[in-house]
Amino acid sequence: MDTEFNEFWEAYKPNEIRFPRRRAATFRAWHERTKAARMAMLAKVKAEGGPDWKNPYFYVVDFPEPQPTNYNGRELPKIPLVSACYKGKYGIYSADEAECFGMTGVKPFK
């Protein structure tokens, strides 16, 4: 998880003059987020870079919690799928998302 945070910090390129002493606070906030949120933040910042105007701490705190894609009733992609329970409801999810979101009752879907 520390390696992921370091990747995030380097990709975000925070203005450390404008936002001094933010690394430690951002690190703590990062560890409080779900794995899914951390992965989404890291992917977005790597793709787009961090917004220069936004304090990195508040970027982590305010980042919306991602939701997994439930493929129930949709065209199924050609990736490993599982039947799993997310927030009390069963559905069909990618195996990666089931792991990332910590879903329960995970069974292979064929």
Lookup: tokens for 50: 């961090």
Q: Provide the pLDDT for residue 1.
A: 65
pLDDT tens-place string over residues 65-110: 999 999 998 999 999 999 999 999 999 999 999 998 999 999 999 7
Residue 50 to residue 60: CA distance in whole angstroms: 11
Mean pLDDT of 3-14: 93
- Beta-bridged to residue 90, according to DSSP, are 85
Quick one: pLDDT at residue 51? 85
Quick one: tokens of 89?
A: 């409801």
In whole angstroms, give the CA distance from residue 62 to residue 29.
Answer: 10
DSSP for 17-37 reads: TTSTTHHHHHHHHHHHS-HHH
The tens digit of pLDDT for each residue in 46-57 reads 999 888 778 899
Nearest Cα residue to 1 out of 17, 21, 29, 20: 29
Residue 49 CB partners (closer than 8 Å, separation 6+): 11, 12, 13
